[in-house]
Amino acid sequence: MSQDFTVLIVEDDFHVGRLHAGFVDAVPGFRALPPAPTAALGLQIITAERPDLVLLDVYLPDASGLDLLRTIDNDAMMLSAASDPESVRKAMRRGALAYLIKPFSAELLEARLRGYARYRRLLSETGSLNQDRLENAWQALHPSAPAAGPKTSSATESAVLAALATRGDQSTADVAAAVGISRTTAQRYLSALADDGAIAISLRYGATGRPEHRYSVPAR
């Protein structure tokens, strides 16, 4: 992923909107736009900015977030205190990718955003989808169990990120040599970080014509 996913939060409570924007900005690969306090302003921003993902409350002062959900052509998740089954079913019928009931933890939203990044990456690969890739994308959005707590970074993962941050665009072999691990281990960490949106992947074509994956930390 070469740049951050942009996220618009449509939330009438100023403090809650800022809190959720902070949650979003803390997840690598995501950037929150200034929250919109009304459905009307949210629609204006969506039209102008075309955010990758919209996080919608149900209870807005000028309209229901569920009605706004029906009118937009953007990926969206609901973040709301509305916990009645009808609201949840309606949100799913109208295309919500997830439904988080307030109050929720930063870790739960982080897990949904990381899943969304994997979903987008799987569906952005070239070529036709097969059923396995489609199932993997769906599973990324709908894990069998929510994250139990914050994702902890291992010493090796931190070293991989540090190597990319200090040395710039690198291959798997470059990272393996810098960190002192095998190429297989480096590839595993690089793939996981790319799935989470923490690093970007590009292709470089060598003299043989075979492309080589290059990894870097995207500018924030």
Q: Encode pLDDT of 107-135 as tens digits.
A: 889 999 999 998 998 888 777 888 888 88
Average pLDDT, rounded, for the chain: 86
Q: What is the pLDDT of residues 29-56, one digit of tens each?
A: 899 999 999 999 999 999 999 999 999 9
Please give the backbone phi and psi of residue 5, each rounded to the nearest 5 degrees, phi first: -75, 130
Least confident of 15-19, 36-40, 114-118, 199-203: 199-203
State the Cα–Cα distance between residues 116 and 111, nearest whole angstrom.
Answer: 9
* Residues 63-76, mean pLDDT to the nearest whole number: 96
Q: pLDDT at residue 154 above 70?
A: no
Which is higher by pLDDT, 75 or 107? 75
- Given this model, what pLDDT does residue 61 score? 95
State the Cα–Cα distance between residues 175 and 75, nearest whole angstrom.
Answer: 34
Which is higher by pLDDT, 191 or 99? 99
Predicted TM-score of the model (pTM): 0.65
214 phi-psi bin (left φ>0, alpha ψ -120 to 50, beta other):
beta
For the chain, what percent of residues have pLDDT higher than 90?
45
C-alpha closest to that of 215 among 179, 157, 153, 164: 164
The H-assigned helical ranges of the chain are: 14-25, 39-49, 65-71, 85-93, 106-124, 131-141, 155-167, 172-179, 183-195
Which residue ranges form the domains of the chain, and what is each CATH number? 5-141 (3.40.50.2300), 155-216 (1.10.10.10)
Q: pLDDT at residue 151 above 80?
A: no
* Residues 178-189, mean pLDDT to the nearest whole number: 83
Please give the backbone phi and psi of residue 218, each rounded to the nearest 5 degrees, phi first: -65, 145
